[in-house]
A and B are shown apart, each in its own frame.
Chain A
Amino acid sequence: GESVGLHLPTLSVQEGDNSIINCAYSNSASDYFIWYKQESGKGPQFIIDIRSNMDKRQGQRVTVLLNKTVKHLSLQIAATQPGDSAVYFCAEISYNQGGKLIFGQGTELSVKP
């Protein structure tokens, strides 16, 4: 999940709609994946995780989908609320590389009331 550029990808949704945020990860041997949420001026916060032996995991209003064939991770947020506005980024971890983390650049989610 890395891209180079000056601006984050942006997703704008209407309050109440579902949001889907995507991440293309880089290491096919990664064992574990995390989604973080970062609100303006704050540190990233854990949202949900998934191990590489799973393809779906659900939390409260959030679902993470993992497609190892195409190295793709997605975060689905149901009934998006204004408080969901933030930057979301994925992280991948490889245990056979000492737990090395690679972060995606992130997507900015903007929720319109």
Chain B
Amino acid sequence: DVKVTQSSRYLVKRTGEKVFLECVQDMDHENMFWYRQDPGLGLRLIYFSYDVKMKEKGDIPEGYSVSREKKERFSLILESASTNQTSMYLCASRFLGQGRNTGELFFGEGSRLTVL
């Protein structure tokens, strides 16, 4: 069974704190993604990574950074958390290569972050 594991299901942080959200996948996927999900706004892409050491901004990268030092791990960093970053954060991964072009995303269970 494929597995995307997010380290924390629930976090409560204070404004200004640095927050790390960790995601690990065991499928040897090249692509990894961080989304946030908010009521009425759907899934919004924060950052993605095509492969190790690579990162690309998504639609809403402001206030976030990422790290992809190893293929299986993709971390989302909130340098200074703010209340408007209270949200559900979803990590996903996929294989996207020649001859197997599906592009299906496998999601983790989500990390619900509350910033007070």
Decide if B106 touches A46 in the complex (CB within 8 Å). Answer: yes
Segment 95-109 of B: residues with Cβ below 8 Å from A: 96, 101-109
- Chain B contact residues: over half helix, strand or loop, or mixed? loop
How long is the Cα–Cα vector from A57 to B3 in the complex, in angstroms?
Answer: 26
Nearest to A44 among chain B residues (CB) is B107
Q: How far is the CA of A4 from the CA of B42 in the complex (A)?
A: 9
B43 near A103 with CB under 8 A, answer yes
Looking across the interface, which residue of chain B has its beta carbon closest to that of A1? Answer: B42
- B107-A49 in contact (CB<8A): no
Q: Which of A11-19, A69-77, A93-101 contacts B (4 or more CB under 8 A)?
A: A93-101
Q: How far is the CA of A69 from the CA of B108 in the complex (A)?
A: 34
Which single residue of chain B is at the shortest CB-CB distance from A91?
B105
* A108 and B41 alpha carbons, distance in the complex (Å): 14
List residues 36-84 of chain A with CB under 8 A from any CB of chain B.
36, 41-46, 49
10 smallest CB-CB distances across A and B, nearest first, come from A43-B107, A6-B40, A105-B42, A93-B103, A103-B43, A43-B109, A99-B96, A44-B107, A99-B103, A43-B110
Q: Which residue numbers of A lie inside 8 Å of B, CB to CB? A: 2, 4-8, 31-32, 34, 36, 41-46, 49, 89, 91, 93, 95, 99, 101, 103-106
